[in-house]
Amino acid sequence: MSKSPRIAVIGAGLGGATAAALMAQNNMNVRVYEQAPSFSRLGAGIHVGPNAMKVMRRIGIEDVMNQQGSHPDFWYSRHWETGDILAKIPLGNFAVKEYGASYLTVHRGDFHELLMRALPPSAVAFGKELVKLEDRGDVVDLNFSDGTTEQADIVVGADGVNSRVREKLLGPEPPKYAGYLAHRAVFPTPQVKAGMLGFDACVKWWSEDQHMMTYFVSGKQDEIYYVTGVPAVEWDLNDRWLASSREEMREVFRGWHPTVQALVENTREVTKWSLLERDPLPLWSEGRMVLLGDACHPMKPHMAQGACMAIEDAAMLVRCLQEVGAEDHTLAFDLYEANRATRASRVQKVSHDNTWLRTQEDPAWCLGYDVFNVPLVEPALQ
Ligand code: FAD
């Protein structure tokens, strides 16, 4: 039997799956426990920045992602009513040259499936909802809702915004509702008609207090996605999402540019999601337990970087475990936090403010980051 520390990753979302894939690749003794019995192709798109694509390169799925995804040449910001260009941020070949990898927009389900396929099947256990964990000093006991138990030497909480592992570290506290919701819909790209602009490969339409981001989710550009940010005072936190409707979209985007109206009119199914956040956490690890991704720093999605941060976290955690040896988890966790907290908090703040690329700015600090080659900073002395 392997003597290397047993690592339990809780949650096989984009962050947990990335961590497990990199750990398995580096012969670490990893197993990921996911509460869902299986994954389905959720109706949503996702931006994958060059900062995250460098991690996909390491995992070995960069080429196939590049083949599947859409490669916008620019991120446009446009005025909600007139369509005037507020910002035109170069991506495409410029991103490859300047930031070291593609800027992609893809179907989230397709991306997640590729990532899951990069994992050895024996490293994933579905239908395993963690309900209790106890760090006993020399080992962590894990209890699942199906009555089974496991033990691990290291536990990585990649279990999202309502993380059990975070709760164990810091006590029960619901995330904060940000006062905004996001409508999400994927459907066949409509025809362009008179009075409309052609569909930009990646564009955010901005009014003073709400927006609609749209992009293609495949290289063929035959499927388009929109995701909104719309103020809504009330939301029952028991619901993560609810069904919406074309009628509701008509109401909310009344008077917007004809190109936006065309998207509303061609909507088939649309859901609306509560946007949740937390303030930066006072600690990222304790004992044998450590957090990553939304478990640690959930944010409004307005930089399209939440999953990219989870992916960067995963890669940095694996780098730190390798750097000092997985046996010295305390030092590895301190090194990890020292090299992630400032950046994750900065992205959380910009996402909260919803200012990203609204006007012409240089995104290099975010998109150019290379988690494998950035010089490491030492943890502060306690
Ligand atoms: P999650 O994706 O939440 O995964 C957590 C996993 O843990 C899930 O599979 C869950 O089933 C499992 N789990 C939870 N509890 C347990 C338990 N007790 N036991 C076992 N398993 C458990 N990010 C981007 O980078 N680009 C974008 O374009 C983008 N767009 C977004 C649009 C919207 C509307 C929203 C809401 C978010 C968007 N994000 C985007 C953010 C992104 O979705 C999240 O930041 C990202 O999914 C976080 O990944 P994660 O792996 O940390 O958590």
Q: What is the DSSP letter of 376?
A: P
Q: What are phi and psi of 320, to 5 degrees?
A: -70, -40
Which one of 34, 156, 217, 308 would you pick to mutate in the ligand 1 pocket, going by the greatest count of ligand atoms within 8 A of its CB?
Answer: 34
Distance of CA 287 to the CA centre of its chain: 26
296 lines ligand 1 (CB under 6 A): no
Whether the CB-CB separation of 303 and 351 falls below 8 Å is answered with: yes
pLDDT tens, residue by residue, 53-78: 999 999 999 999 999 999 999 999 99
Centre of ligand 1 from the C-alpha of residue 34, in Å = 12
Q: Give residues with Cβ within 8 angstroms of 129, minimum separation 6.
A: 35, 144, 145, 146
Closest residue to atom 3 of ligand 1, CA basis = 160
Whether the CB-CB separation of 94 and 88 falls below 8 Å is answered with: no
pLDDT at 2: 53
Q: What are phi and psi of 231, to 5 degrees?
A: -65, 140
Whether the CB-CB separation of 377 and 109 falls below 8 Å is answered with: no
Q: Give residues with Cβ within 8 angstroms of 368, minimum separation 6.
A: 50, 51, 98, 99, 100
Q: Give the mean model confidence (pLDDT) for residues 353-361.
A: 97
Q: Give the mean model confidence (pLDDT) for residues 347-362.
A: 97
Confidence band, pLDDT 50/70/90 cuts, at residue 1: very low
What is the spatial distance between Cα 17 and Cα 9, in angstroms, rounded to a whole number? Answer: 8
159 lines ligand 1 (CB under 6 A): yes
pLDDT tens, residue by residue, 265-310: 999 999 999 999 999 999 999 999 999 999 999 999 999 999 999 9
Looking at the annotation, which residues are catalytic?
A: 47, 215
Centre of ligand 1 from the C-alpha of residue 160, in Å = 5
pLDDT at 214: 98
Alpha helices in the chain (DSSP H): 14-25, 50-59, 62-68, 92-99, 108-117, 164-170, 246-252, 258-265, 306-324, 329-353, 364-367
pLDDT at 382: 58
Q: What is the CA radius of gyration of the chain?
A: 21
Atom of ligand 1 nearest to the CA of 292: 52
124 lines ligand 1 (CB under 6 A): no
Q: What is the DSSP letter of 293?
A: G
300 lines ligand 1 (CB under 6 A): no
Centre of ligand 1 from the C-alpha of residue 255, in Å = 33
10 lines ligand 1 (CB under 6 A): yes
Distances (CA, A) of 68 to 48, 183, 198, 223: 12, 24, 22, 12
pLDDT tens, residue by residue, 114-158: 999 999 999 999 999 999 999 999 999 999 999 999 999 999 999
Q: In whole numbers, what is the pLDDT of the chain averaged over residues?
A: 96
Closest residue to atom 52 of ligand 1, CA basis = 293
Q: What is the DSSP letter of 226?
A: E
What is the spatial distance between Cα 157 and Cα 160, in angstroms, rounded to a whole number? Answer: 8
Distances (CA, A) of 115 to 10, 108, 120, 126, 354: 16, 11, 11, 15, 29
Centre of ligand 1 from the C-alpha of residue 13, in Å = 6
164 lines ligand 1 (CB under 6 A): yes
pLDDT tens, residue by residue, 3-30: 799 999 999 999 999 999 999 999 999 9
9 lines ligand 1 (CB under 6 A): no
Of the candidates 380, 377, 370, the one whose C-alpha atom is nearest the C-alpha of residue 56 is 370
Closest residue to atom 38 of ligand 1, CA basis = 301
Of the candidates 183, 147, 178, the one whose C-alpha atom is nearest the C-alpha of residue 270 is 183
Confidence band, pLDDT 50/70/90 cuts, at residue 34: very high
